Amino acid sequence: MNLVKQTAKELGLTYKELSKELGYSESALNAAARKDELSEPLKKAIELYLENLKLKEKIKLTEAFKQNLKDFLES
């Protein structure tokens, strides 16, 4: 499975939604998925988007841990 199809499936996004997140047109994403040919900029955009999502999740978990620790120390 190519990177566009795999990413959209894993994130539960349509190509239209994914294209908006990546800053690409829906037609460009459809063509890349259909032909299984990704330009280097598109491949990098997807990789960076996925990394960004992971980092946001880590920040969220860190903030929750920080708040829990603060609450524990104050009690």
The pLDDT of residue 60 is 97
| 75 vs 67: CA distance, rounded Å | 12
Going from the C-alpha of 46 to that of each of 6, 26, 66, 68, 71, the distances in angstroms are 11, 14, 30, 33, 38
Average per-residue pLDDT in the chain? 95
pLDDT tens digits along 52-69: 999 999 999 999 999 999
- Number of independent structural domains in the chain: 1
pTM: 0.84
CATH number for 22: 1.10.260
The residue range of the domain holding 9 is 3-74
